[in-house]
Chains A and B, each alone.
Chain A
Amino acid sequence: MGQYIIKRLLLMIPTMIGITLITFLIIRLAPGDPVEAKFGAVGEPSASGASGPGGADKTMAIINAKVRLGLLQRGGTARLWNAENGSAVADIVAHGDQLHDLRYSPDGQRIATAGFDGEGSGHLRLWSIKGKRQADLIGSTQAVSGIAFSADGKRLAAVGHDRITRIYELENASGSLEPAFELKGHERVVAAVALSPNGKWLATGSRDKTIRLYDLAASDGDAPEVAQFTEHYQEVTSLVFLDDNTLVSGGRDRNVFAWDLVSGTKTRKLEGVSSEVFALALAKDGAWLAAGLGNSSVCLWSTGDLSSEPRVFSGHTAAVTSLAFHPTQQKLASASKDQTVRIWEIKGDKSQMLHGHSAVVNAVDYHPDGTQLASGALDISKVNLFTSYFQWLGRLMVLDLGRSIKDSRPVKDKILEALPITLTLNLTAILITYLLSIPLGVYAGARRGGPFDQTSSVGLFALYSMPSFWVATMLIILFGSERSFLATEFGFTLPYIGLHDDNASRMPFLQYMLDHGLHLILPLIALTYASFAFLSRLMRTNMLETLSQDFIRTARAKGLTENSVIWKHAFRNSLISIVTVVGNLLPLMIGGSVIIEYIFEIPGMGKLGFDAILQRDYPVIMAITTLTAVLTMVGVLLSDILYSIVDPRIRLS
């Protein structure tokens, strides 16, 4: 017995895989896109003017929803380009979720990437320029938003969402590297960091609107905060050192300020900045200063003449997020939210566009020898059908059914809400069915050909052929409607919508139960009648079969009373197949009846599934289909086992 069950359970595994595969394929290959339908079509001008920033938000929301569904995957990708001809050389999938910043080390041997890696701790990583991971710089538990190498390449400063600035010593970095020391002080997310060329000053800019300056060359190893600049009135997004004593800062408040570190005062406000500043970059020899703006343009100043109007490069279609100068000062690369990187010629007016990223490009940097360019983005890619199937299967194994597309609630919660309702309804229905049909079948079978048998046969046959949706609607007409027979004769109707009256929550307990019971009457009849007809006919047939067997003749020959023959001998033996039908009822009990629950508006499993189909709520549909299929399998096994228990003549093999 135990062996048999184990064998059957093992046989279930390929069936399970087949079931999940088919469910998955049906859902995945279905035409139309429910996620986009939910958020409304993208790219079409809508009444609310969704083409503007709302459009971008919507795109992001759709992407997020699809990532949750496992349709898309995203990862912070650093893409390496050949700087000469603009062809992609290699991709480094650097972080699981977001990539905020990347830098080449000054010696050109490494790339550091900063971003967010989901729940892990790899928010800051060092790679060889071939794309091989060299070290994880640990410490931060949240996203790292900005990094800066010192000029000698020995130190790396990183800032991020946890408001702490960390300094790493990079000599012999491998494995996971703890920060050498940490600097605290900012009150909100730190967005920018810069190290002065001589390595003495470290500046950080934050969303708390301040710039803080630390002295790394202080005597006793720790780096005291030496100054705080507070004239920005919004987030400081970028910092760059013009020389050892001059710091330039850009902020969302549309200001670019220059600060003199010796005196600790603002020396200049750069003109010509018409939008939020997202990026600043300084050419290697200090001849040019560039700023990337939110209005998708790039401003370029000559550092010799900072008071003049800047030269403006325009061409991007969304905000510029990062800038980098070619070492020869001939070219300027800019990364933008329009998913492209552009390379501008400073002296000429040509520009080159690098396509390939599928989302906002957050960072760009030139290799120190100018041959290579790296850009970093949160890339969105379609999940391979196979991979996503196995991902879904994996989640299914740990009973993670995902979240509904419609209201983002966990599918498990929704099912657990609907399940008790369906279970109550169906268990009651099955109980009633058995209680009614067994005596009826026995009685009809025992008096074969009698008037009761004949009338009940015709009646059951008719019941069996009635479509359930028609019966349910007719029940409402006859007993539920305001103008029904019950209403006109007795002034009383049976409720037929939902499980409770609207004001049920205020009812006393007994009235509540009565109300509940009244609501259940019509659905129960509609659920019961068909299986009642089926079971009664089955019972009658079984009874007839048993009665025609030899042991009944023996019993009668012994002179047993007819009652004893029927109830003790025939009845017990004819129960066998009736009992085993219980196994087949299992999926029905859980799955519920779509039609009945739809007509009577009962929020059970059937209604849940029906609504999910209407709304194309894929996770719910997949969960219900898989659940019911599994229950069917279990039900078949159960009825086989029951069979052998009830009828010892049958051996499991």
Chain B
Amino acid sequence: MTETENPGADKNEVERDDASVAADSQTATTDPTGPRATVPSRSYWRIVRKQYSRSASGMIGLIVFLMLVFVALLAPLLANDVPLIARYKGELCFPALPTYLDAMPVPRKIADALKRWQVFGANPLSTKYPDLVNEDVDGQWKRLAPSAQADHELEIKLDGKIFFDGAPARLPAAIEKLRGAQSLHCVRHVGRHKLSDANRDAFAAVRALAIEMRVTERQQFLEGLSWKQAITKAWDSDNDWYLPPPVFFSYKEINKQSIKLSYRAETNWGTEEDPHESTHWIGTDREGRDVLARMIHGTIISLSVGVVAVSIYCTIGVILGLIAGYLGGWIDILLSRITEIVICFPSFFLIITVIAFLEKSIYNIMIVIGLTSWTGIFRLMRGEVLRVKELDYNAACRALGVPAWRVMYRHLLPNTLSPILVSATFGVASAILTENALSFLGFGVASPTASWGEIVGQGRLLVAEGHFHLVLAPGAAIFLTVTVLNLVGQSLRDAMDPRLRH
């Protein structure tokens, strides 16, 4: 304890090596068990790390939280309706991989870009995946900036050669050629204007054809069956084998035959003689979707909303707080007044109002929570900056003529971050609560995306009938996540400022 008696004094050492502080601040929260420096260092963040690792509840919380992150990251591999690995008709394939990006809340453009990468999309093995119809063909279409040379709007390359250059009359012949092509590459020259009507039709036709070609390919391999059907009906048990995910249901898979609104519903997709049996561990919802699979996928939504929303509002709050606190004057007055206005709004009501007006989307939730909740961070940051600003090293900086942005970025920011970090941890918990409350009220993610709150909301309607599996388990998941985050936050606060500990 001796080395932590006075962490404030140690803070002055921080600016000796700012770079290592920045690096440490990231590892301090995520990796407290990492290798300790052999030479005793008195860096503030090292002390925090050491202090933190002494708190049992904090460590348990952190471990559980990391496990939740792990579940979220691997959700499509933990609960899916296709095998992780399968050998079928003599071919080895990884059918779960291409579904990974579809299940993750990744913006479409990024997902499209990633799909070009071997593992996620263009992998020859993964094209044997049955759900290709759902895969976005737009991934193959490239938007180009308007160029002076492009005198035609639409250009389709077949096996590397241009065979359609935007003259609609040539389209029928072109489509005939397209059948049986090995590779298809379309370039749509998007100028300031939209596509002409004829070319828009062409675009749609080629697109439809591209989808159709892929469907054909799929049917050749799985003969029109889904993987589960293939495993049940067309399985050659001598040569074929598969490795199912732990929960062999996807979050949107509807199992109409086995809707069972209680725990441990029986298998759905197997027939009586079927050896490859699976069970709904927590039952199904009304539509016959497996609750456990949906809960696993709900982890992604909850954690990503929590983290992204908090990142958004921390960024806003920290930047505005730095500016207001350091520059002062009328900027400070203006920003403080704006903050006062935002504080006055009933935040949850405001969030529901705005969310109700927008389309259902996880990104909207993130952004709205982010834009409405920054005031706490702003006030905290401003107060911290006002405190730190008066310290000697800032006077030294000013005397040396260091520009304001550099003082803010290099000196004030690292020295004011610790309360922000604590506040952000609690913030993630409350953002997760908000997201789930929104989903509970029906303003959350769009179906069929799963969210814990949405499952509880469905369960509420079944309460009168005595089924409470839809309420108990997801609610417990929310409770666990929030508790764990609160524990981490509390331990972090105690580690950073032992005077606050009670």
Among A19, A461, A591, A633, the residue within 8 A (CB) of B486 is: A461
- Asked if B441 is at the interface (CB within 8 A of a chain A CB), the reply is yes
A465-B482 in contact (CB<8A): yes
Min CB–CB distance A8 → chain B (angstroms)? 11
Bound Cα distance from A445 to B354, whole angstroms: 42
A470-B468 in contact (CB<8A): no
Q: Which of A443-495 contact B (CB under 8 A)?
A: 448, 461-462, 464-470, 473-474, 476-477, 480-484
Q: Which of B212-268 contact A (CB under 8 A)?
A: none
B346-A591 in contact (CB<8A): yes
Please tell me the number of chain A residues within 8 Å of chain B, measured between CB atoms. 51
B344-A621 in contact (CB<8A): no
Min CB–CB distance B353 → chain A (angstroms)? 6
- Asked if A642 is at the interface (CB within 8 A of a chain B CB), the reply is no
B460-A632 in contact (CB<8A): no
Contacts of A229 in B (CB 8 A): none
Instruction: Identify the stretch in A98-106, A259-267, A622-630 within 8 Å (CB) of chain B at 4 or more residues.
Output: A622-630
- Asked if A279 is at the interface (CB within 8 A of a chain B CB), the reply is no
B441-A466 in contact (CB<8A): no
Contacts of B483 in A (CB 8 A): 461-462, 465
How many A-B pairs with Cβ below 8 Å? 128
A473-B441 in contact (CB<8A): no
Interface string of B435-479 (1 = CB under 8 A from A): 011001100000000000100110110011110100110010011
Q: Which of B337, B344, B354 has the most CB of A within 10 A?
A: B344
Cβ-closest chain B residue relative to A609:
B349
Chain B interface residue count: which class? 35 or more
B349-A591 in contact (CB<8A): yes
A473-B486 in contact (CB<8A): no
A19-B345 in contact (CB<8A): yes
A594-B348 in contact (CB<8A): yes
Q: Which of B337, B346, B433, B471 has the most CB of A within 10 A?
A: B346
B466-A482 in contact (CB<8A): yes
Do A540 and B337 form a contact, CB below 8 Å, given A467-B482, A481-B466, A613-B352? no
- Asked if B343 is at the interface (CB within 8 A of a chain A CB), the reply is yes
Min CB–CB distance A384 → chain B (angstroms)? 22
Bound Cα distance from A27 to B463, whole angstroms: 35
- Asked if A348 is at the interface (CB within 8 A of a chain B CB), the reply is no
A628-B349 in contact (CB<8A): yes
Interface string of B334-350 (1 = CB under 8 A from A): 00011011111110111
Q: Which of A477, A480, A541, A598 has the most CB of B within 10 A?
A: A477
Among B342, B343, B358, B471, the residue within 8 A (CB) of A474 is: B471
Contacts of B337 in A (CB 8 A): 14-15, 18
Majority SS at the chain A contact face: helix
- Asked if B314 is at the interface (CB within 8 A of a chain A CB), the reply is no
- Asked if B330 is at the interface (CB within 8 A of a chain A CB), the reply is no
Contacts of A474 in B (CB 8 A): 468, 471-472, 475
Contacts of A625 in B (CB 8 A): 345-346, 349-350, 353
B479-A477 in contact (CB<8A): no
Interface string of A611-626 (1 = CB under 8 A from B): 0011010000100110
Bound Cα distance from A595 to B434, whole angstroms: 11
Contacts of B486 in A (CB 8 A): 461, 464-465
B463-A629 in contact (CB<8A): no
Contacts of A180 in B (CB 8 A): none
Bound Cα distance from A610 to B443, whole angstroms: 11
Interface string of B487-500 (1 = CB under 8 A from A): 10000000000000
Contacts of A518 in B (CB 8 A): none
B346-A587 in contact (CB<8A): yes
- Asked if B356 is at the interface (CB within 8 A of a chain A CB), the reply is yes
A629-B344 in contact (CB<8A): yes
Contacts of A26 in B (CB 8 A): 350, 353-354, 357
A473-B459 in contact (CB<8A): yes
B463-A476 in contact (CB<8A): yes
B471-A470 in contact (CB<8A): yes
Min CB–CB distance B428 → chain A (angstroms)? 12
Contacts of A540 in B (CB 8 A): 502
Min CB–CB distance A445 → chain B (angstroms)? 9
- Asked if B429 is at the interface (CB within 8 A of a chain A CB), the reply is yes
A632-B343 in contact (CB<8A): yes
Contacts of A30 in B (CB 8 A): 357
Bound Cα distance from A469 to B442, whole angstroms: 12
- Asked if A599 is at the interface (CB within 8 A of a chain B CB), the reply is yes
Among A473, A481, A613, the residue within 8 A (CB) of B456 is: A473
Min CB–CB distance A234 → chain B (angstroms)? 48
B466-A632 in contact (CB<8A): no
Among A19, A469, A544, A594, the residue within 8 A (CB) of B453 is: A469
Cβ-closest chain B residue relative to A18:
B341
Min CB–CB distance A535 → chain B (angstroms)? 15
A610-B466 in contact (CB<8A): no
Interface string of B84-110 (1 = CB under 8 A from A): 000000000000000000000000000
Contacts of B475 in A (CB 8 A): 467, 470, 473-474
- Asked if A32 is at the interface (CB within 8 A of a chain B CB), the reply is yes
Bound Cα distance from A625 to B479, whole angstroms: 29
Among B342, B356, B466, B471, the residue within 8 A (CB) of A613 is: B356
Contacts of B466 in A (CB 8 A): 481-484
Do A473 and B357 form a contact, CB below 8 Å, given A467-B479, A483-B466? no
Cβ-closest chain A residue relative to B349:
A609
A467-B437 in contact (CB<8A): yes
Bound Cα distance from A469 to B429, whole angstroms: 15
Bound Cα distance from A476 to B462, whole angstroms: 11
Cβ-closest chain B residue relative to A487:
B466
Cβ-closest chain A residue relative to B346:
A628
Contacts of B436 in A (CB 8 A): 467, 469
Min CB–CB distance A634 → chain B (angstroms)? 10
Seed contacts A466-B479, A621-B353, A633-B344; 4 additional CB < 8 Å A-B pairs: A14-B337, A22-B345, A477-B463, A481-B468
Q: Enumerate 6 A-B pairs (CB-CB under 8 Å) in ascending A order.
A: A14-B337, A22-B341, A26-B350, A31-B357, A482-B464, A544-B502
Could you list which residues of chain A lie within 8 angstroms of chain B, going by C-beta atoms? 14-15, 18-19, 22, 26, 30-32, 448, 461-462, 464-470, 473-474, 476-477, 480-484, 540-541, 544-545, 587, 591, 594-595, 598-599, 609-610, 613-614, 616, 621, 624-625, 628-630, 632-633
Per CB-CB distance, the 3 closest pairs between chain A and chain B, nearest first, are A483-B466, A470-B475, A18-B341
